[in-house]
Amino acid sequence: QKEVEQNSGPLSVPEGAIASLNCTYSDRGSQSFFWYRQYSGKSPELIMSIYSNGDKEDGRFTAQLNKASQYVSLLIRDSQPSDSATYLCAVTVSGAGSYQLTFGKGTKLSVIP
């Protein structure tokens, strides 16, 4: 069973702080890693993708990947109340055309004004 694990939270951070979201995965063959943001009652929205070890920055978001440790994280700098949402980590399934995704259960982030 290929699994993606996330701390369900809720994770509460004050406005302006750094929010750190973590994800581990079991499939060593996974090649692509994604973070989706899902507001309550809405569909998932892609915010970051990462494919190689190291950091990838996009605005206030930084994704970090460590394939040896099977670990991917998302940092949100200068957190805003509008960042309050559930963040889903998703990982491609190896041996399935690299297109299928396995999702974690999500971490609920609450940014306190």
105: left (phi over 0), alpha (psi -120 to 50) or beta: alpha
Structure tokens at 10: 């809720």
Q: Near other proteins by CB under 8 A, which window of 9-17, 20-28, 56-64, 102-110?
A: 102-110
Kindly tell me which of 90 and 111 has the beta carbon lying closer to other proteins: 90
Using CB under 8 A, count the residues that bind other proteins.
19
Kindly tell me which of 18 and 46 has the beta carbon lying closer to other proteins: 46
Confirm if 53 and 83 have CB atoms less than 8 A apart.
no
Kindly tell me which of 25 and 34 has the beta carbon lying closer to other proteins: 34
For position 60 contacting other proteins by CB under 8 A, the verdict is no
Question: Residue 62 gets which letter from DSSP?
Answer: E
For position 94 contacting other proteins by CB under 8 A, the verdict is no
Q: Write the DSSP assignment of 75-90 as a string of letters.
A: EESS--GGG-EEEEEE
Residue 24: name the closest of 71, 76, 83 by CA.
Answer: 71
Q: Which residues bind other proteins (CB under 8 A)?
A: 32, 34, 36, 42-46, 49, 51, 88, 90, 99-101, 103-106
